[in-house]
Amino acid sequence: MSEYFPHIALLPSAGMGHLTPFLRLAAMLVNNHCKVTLITPTPTVSLAESKFISRFLSAVPQVNHTEFHLMPFDASAANSTDPFFLQFEAIRRSAHLLPSLLDFISPPLSALVYDVSLISPVLAAIESMFLPRYILFTPSAKMFSIFSYFPTAVASKQITGDGEIEIPGIIPRIPGSSIPPLLFDLNSLFAKIFMEDSPKLKRLDGVLLNTFEDLEGKTLEAINEGNVVKGLPHAFAIGPLIPLQFEKGDQSQSALNWLDDQREGSVVYVCFGSRNAMKRDQIREIGKGLMRSGCKFLWVVKDKLVDRDENDSLDEVLGYKLAESMKEKGLVVKTWVCQVEILGHKGVGGFLSHCGWNSVTEAAWQGVPILAWPLAGDQKVNAELVEKSGWGMWMRNWGWLGEKLVDEEEIGKAIKDMMGSRMLKVNAVKIREAARNSNAINLEKLIQDWKKHNG
């Protein structure tokens, strides 16, 4: 009998933080002899997404590609102005178009793996197709425990902003102040998705998580032993999803050349993710803080939510005088760089990060200590995790980035402390080893399941 190769369809949603893990997963599946069809919602929100998809398809031509054309919808009723959340909603409202698209994919699919932001509508759309369905939960396992327990926490009046949230099996309790602020407004689009989708988790065949045992072993155990919520599907820890060769491209070359000339471990890399606009006064304090730290720096400045709107020059964002003075000590860019490659450069000794989950797993993969400054969403949960694992520090009193103005002196001192900490360096090396050794056994198990059910 000839060997059966599972055919997996992957459906990401919006933003680089969601797209990147899907593309890494696609390549890992291809390397494990699966057929893969990538379904990309069109048009994308950011230029970074469309460029990333094109580069990926050229680099991994074994992957089939299908565009999922979204229906227009009236965004004014959606109770959000965030373009990435609005795209979640647009995809959700177009989900009923999926079955006809999936029916045309050949050979027949063995499973669909889709994004966490789309659970209910995709489930409803494909229910009658008898197609095994999985989600890729792009944040951490800890965040998965919050997501799955959320309706219970709301019902027991734990989502108040004060006090702590007690999730069975999850230690320590989660401070109310670490919960994504949008969840306190049950009318927000984000909270509505949580309330509607969380109870549907039980109808999935499995959940894929970009995490690994050494980072979140206890949380994974609590989830899979049914302590958090009974009856959840199995959570497969398949991370860290491995960065790919194609991601490098040539856009980081000048930054890498500059790094080549720096002393080993002397540079702090600064980046607050792909979908955040920061206030200019805070950007300038960060700039002055970097100068005060005495460290060399490589800083990716983002001034707008969506890259298509980034029109102002660095001189305008930083102010001419600061921009000029910074040239002596570091490199400041407004363009996309390949972060994971930068983090892997020997010149980089620390990372001032908003702690988006991809950034955290990439820093773990490259063994780089983190100074956490969460901005939104799950990032305080991630910051706490990094701090507890011993390879990062978190200035809790700074609050959410943008909540209050943190001055140059505090920023400079914290950067200096992080860059000078031997303990953080030692622990970062340990987490790197653990990340590299977290073998792909769970992914192999999953592929074996797909083979068994379809072969």
Is residue 153 within the footprint of ligand BUP (CB under 6 A)? no
Pick 135 or 229: Cβ nearer ligand BUP: 135
Q: Is 18 an active-site residue?
A: yes
Structure-token pair, residue 64: 């089939």
* Amino acid residing at 298: L
Asked if 347 is part of the footprint of ligand BUP (rule: CB under 6 A), the reply reads: no
Nearer to ligand BUP, 353 or 421 (CB): 353
Q: Name the residue type at position 321.
A: K
CB of 214 to ligand BUP, least distance (A): 20
C-alpha span between 93 and 73 (Å, rounded): 8
Q: What residue ranges in 70-205 does DSSP mark as E strands?
A: 111-115, 133-137, 164-165, 174-175
Q: Does 142 bind ligand BUP (CB under 6 A)?
A: no
- Report the candidate in 49, 64, 58 with the shortest Cα–Cα distance to residue 14: 49
Pairwise CA distance, residues 371 & 396, whole Å: 11
- C-beta of 6 vs 273, nearer to ligand BUP: 273
Q: Which of 7, 11, 13, 18 binds ligand BUP (CB under 6 A)?
A: 18
- C-beta closer to ligand BUP: residue 105 or 277: 277
What H or E segment, with its residue span, contains residue 77? none
Mark 240-279 with x for binding to ligand BUP (rule: CB under 6 A) and - for no binding: -------------------------------x-xxx----
Report if residue 46 touches ligand BUP, rule: CB under 6 A. Answer: no
Give the helix/strand (H/E) hosting 449: helix 441-454
**Residue 129 CB neighbours (<10 A):** 14
Site string for ligand BUP, 323-342 (x = CB under 6 A): -------------xxxxx--
Among the listed ranges 63-71, 350-358, 395-403, 434-442, the one in contact with ligand BUP (CB under 6 A) is 350-358
18, 345, 354, 378: the active-site residue: 18
How long a stretch of residues is the chain? 455
| # residues near ligand BUP by CB under 6 A | 22
CB 12 within 8 A of CB 22: yes
Choice among 82, 115, 205, 378 that is catalytic: 115
Distance CA 218, CA 156 (A): 24
Q: 377-396 mask for ligand BUP (x: CB under 6 A)? A: x-------------------
Check if 115 is active-site: yes
CA 107 to chain centre: 31
Residue type, 86: L
Residue 359 interacts with ligand BUP (CB under 6 A): yes or no: yes
Q: Which of 10, 12, 13, 15 binds ligand BUP (CB under 6 A)?
A: 15
Spatial separation of the C-alpha atoms in residues 92 and 192, rounded to whole Å = 12
Placement of tokens 């999850």 in the chain: 170
Residues lying near ligand BUP in the complex (CB under 6 A) = 15-18, 20, 271, 273-275, 300, 302, 336-340, 356-359, 362, 377
Catalytic residue positions, numbered: 18, 115
